[in-house]
Amino acid sequence: MLNRTRLLAVARKEVIQLRRDIRSLIMAFVLPVLLLVLFGYAISWDVQNIETGVLDRDGSARSRELIDAFRSSGYFDIRKQLEDEDEIDRLLDRGGVRIVLVIPTDFSRDVGAGRPARLQAIVDGSDANTATIALGYARAIVQSYSRNVLFQGERVTTPIESQTRVWYNEELLSRNMIVPGLVAVIMMIIAAMLTSLTIAREWERGTMEQLAATPVGRGEVVLGKLLPYVAIGLIDVVVVSVIGVVLFDVPFRGNAALLMILSTAFLIGALGLGIFISAVSRSQLLATQMAMILTFLPAFLLSGFMYAIEVMPTALEAITYLVPARYFLVVTRGIFLKGVGVEVLRVQGLLMIAFAVVGLAAAIRVFKKEIAR
Amino acid sequence: MMSRDTAVVADGLTKRFGDFVAVEDVSFEVSSGEIFGFLGPNGAGKTTTMKMLTGLLLPSAGGGSVAGFDIMTEAEAIKRNIGYMSQLFSLYADLTVDENIAFFARLYGVPVDRRRERRDWVVEMAGLDDQVDRLTGELPLGWKQRLALGCAVLHEPPILFLDEPTSGVDPISRRSFWDLIYELADRGTTVFVTTHYMEEAEYCNRLALMNRGQLIALDTPARLREGMEQPIFEIRVDSAPRAVAALQHAEGVVDAAMFGRELHVTLESDADAEERLRRHLDERGVSFSGLERITPALEDVFVARVRAAGGAPVD
């Protein structure tokens, strides 16, 4: 039995305290916007204008044609024409360029004679991701170039022609992935960081004992504390979404109400987890650290936000099933980019509700045990 | 058997934390309207006993009742019928005086139409008329404690539990705090208070002495003093510290302790007291200028009882 007066009294008290705690306010309202802007602008997995060096030993019309093809693609920024091989090392070492194309002396002769010509690309592999993408682009450019050479610009029909078309994120912009993903990650931060403090603070300041000696029940304390944070979380969902759409041109194709409902489910579970951590650790410092490790980092690294789950090692992939942000990420990306509805997000929705029930039950349960210590 | 006038019953209360026995087989009864003091050194088990009675801690063995409710099974009913002030200052420092009062009034279920009246009463009682909009954390400790007391009795509970309510408070604030306690007791509130201040102990109707988790004495302050069989002498010497050193382990001396510039010496018997004391002191070259048999202070009783029961746990 929950008493409404007591539950609301706890919620009201929590709001007053939040309003006076600048640290929490920053975490609640500034951090999400900051993260969004930071990630939205600074982090991009799109590779463009790769600094490129060219060592053209051939020096022929054909080799210049090839270099032009690289330049005009927009992916490669030809920074430097090299004179001899020794320069390659130095240039790559100093980070002046990321990739060096080496066109051998007999390039145009081989091409002219219809023999397979060789072309060397030396890539700085220290950033494996960019290196792979750069090589992919280079390969595609070379392929289309050799097709042109082969057919001398005639229109030809190849036996099988693949025509790819990308759906949902037509331009393959990474920010279209990042912004909806951030909604999920930010929710996890709000939940974990903010609520991890709330109960530990009461233990540290001795107010918990006073609460325990009043008729207020565990459920009333936990739910009363939860309420303001759910509100903050939902405000953040709206703010981050609006900024995402307005500032970053991220499409929003789905149903806003559905996003709010599923966000609420996710929030309750995540907040429950935060309160659980807070109740177990009893110190604000420990609680923050635990929250970082148990919720914040997994949300970042194991939810599919930063790294695709499909390419993770099996053991790690298994762990991702325990990371609720994983499900919420499917929801936000689905609603933003694909405009899908309940029929598709049913499974994620149910899993998040299950998580909410478990999180909340765990919070109330551990809280009960702790008071009787 | 519990009579109608019994507010608190402890019956063989025991609390173990692992191998450590914090409270061992403690039994007593507190009558309605009584100011019942719990006295003992730190770590004696006072707070643990209080927590078991207030439903904050489950006993390992034994039982009891508060306001007629069983502490094992009816903790929630007990919480509606008691006020509790914990050892640590435990109101919200970042809430104003008014906000704290409003919060606890709601938690304690004070009816809406009574809240204003109760709030005014607390503000007046704690002398905080001009401070209602101040953050509680900014108040001097003495005022905080009075406010905490006010918040604990917002719902006019028949029984009030105070765990070292005045620790760290200056003597004047302590005095005015006790005036409030008397006021509440006058209205019929039962007050159960732990303390380690001797002068506070004197204010209680009855005192329970605890040491090492056990109840070692229980009576009115006056009878506790009278009940002390060993004689106590106040002696005047030129050097109290040297005199303590000389007497502490001397034959026939139970205890010697400094009381200001004088010495309180507890002897096993009063036969030839002066002569024996003079001899012990002469041996150590301490000059001795007079002695007087005194009624033991509560502190003497306390020290003697604790010593007889095996000493304080910290020593």
Residues ≥6 apart with Cβ < 8 Å to A311 = none
Please judge whether B107 and A373 are an interchain contact, meaning their C-beta atoms are less than 8 angstroms apart: no
Confidence of residue B1 (pLDDT cuts 50, 70, 90): very low
> Which residues of chain A make contact with B87, given a CB cutoff of 8 A?
206
Confidence band, pLDDT 50/70/90 cuts, at residue B121: very high
Q: Does A189 share its domain with A290?
A: yes
Co-location of A359 and A240 in the same domain: yes
What ipTM goes with this model?
A: 0.81
Chain mean position to CA A91 = 33
> How close B130 comes to chain A (CA, Å)?
21
Class of the CATH domain delimited by B229-295 = alpha beta
Secondary structure (3-state) at A118? coil
CA atoms within 13 A on the CB side of B6: 13
Range of the domain at A210: 4-43+173-371
pLDDT given for residue A371 in this prediction: 58
Provide, as residue numbers in chain B, all residues whose Cβ is less than 8 Å from the Cβ of A12.
103
Task: Dump pLDDT digits (tens) for B35-87.
Answer: 999 998 888 899 999 999 998 889 999 999 999 999 999 988 999 999 999 87
pLDDT of residue A373: 44
Q: Return the pLDDT at A154.
A: 57
Domain count, chain A: 2
Please name the member of A21, A205, A214 whose beta carbon is closest to the beta carbon of B107.
A214
The region that residue B183 occupies, defined by phi over 0 for left and psi between -120 and 50 for alpha, beta otherwise, is alpha
* Chain B residues with CB-CB distance to A206 below 8 A: 86-90
Structure tokens at B293: 């048999």
Note whether B169 and B89 are within 8 A (CB). no
A233 within 8 A of A12, measured Cβ to Cβ: no
Below-70 pLDDT ranges, chain A: 43-46, 152-166, 168-173, 368-373
Q: Report residue B262's pLDDT band, with 50, 70 and 90 as the boundaries.
A: confident
**Does residue A242 fall inside a structural domain?**
yes
- Per-residue pLDDT tens for B123-176? 998 889 899 999 999 999 888 989 999 999 999 999 999 999 888 888 888 888
Q: Which residue in chain A is spatially nearest to B86 when comparing CA positions?
A: A210
Is pLDDT of B315 > 50? no
Instruction: Say if A259 falls within a structural domain.
Output: yes
A179 with A115, same domain: the answer is no
Provide the pLDDT for residue A73. 83
State whether A135 and A15 are in the same domain.
no
Is A82 found in the same domain as A219?
no
Give the tokens for residue A261: 């409902």
- B86 vs A209: CB contact, 8 Å cut-off? yes
Query: Which pairing describes strands B206-211 and B214-219: parallel, antiparallel, or unpaired?
Result: antiparallel
* Cβ–Cβ below 8 Å for B90 and A210: yes
Closest CA to B75 of B49, B50, B57: B57
Q: Is residue A264 part of a domain?
A: yes
Residue A323 and residue A228 share a domain:
yes
Q: Which of B19, B11, B8, B14 is nearest to B213 (CA)?
A: B14
CATH 3.10.20.30 assigned to domain B6-219? The reply is no
A102 with A58, same domain: the answer is yes
Contacts (Cβ under 8 Å, ≥6 apart) of B58:
A372, B52, B72
Identify which of A12, A207, A212 has the shortest CB distance to residue B56.
Answer: A212
Longest CA–CA separation in chain B, Å: 75
Which residues in chain A have Cβ-Cβ distances shorter than 8 Å to B109?
3, 5-6, 215
For residue A131, is it within any domain? Answer: yes
CA distance B193 to A297: 48
Q: Do A17 and B106 touch (CB under 8 A)?
A: no
Determine, yes or no, domain membership for A168. Answer: no
Residue A165 located in a structural domain: no
Mutate to test the interface with A, among B90, B134, B136, B144 (most CBs of A within 10 A): B90
Phi then psi for B254, rounded to 5 degrees?
A: -80, -45
Residues A225 and A311 both lie in one domain: yes
How many Å apart are CA A352 and CA A340, to the nearest integer? 17
B155 CA: distance to closest CA in chain A (Å): 11
Residue A156 lies in a domain: no
Nearest-10 Cα torsion for B193, B198, B202, B203: -40
Give the chain A residue nearest B80 (alpha carbons).
A215
Domain spans in chain B, listed from the N-terminal domain onward: 6-219, 229-295
Residue from A18, A214, A282 to probe the interface with B (highest B Cβ count within 10 Å): A214
Residue A206 lies in a domain: yes
Same domain, A223 and A367: yes
The pair of three-digit structure tokens given for residue B53, joined into one six-digit string: 């009675």
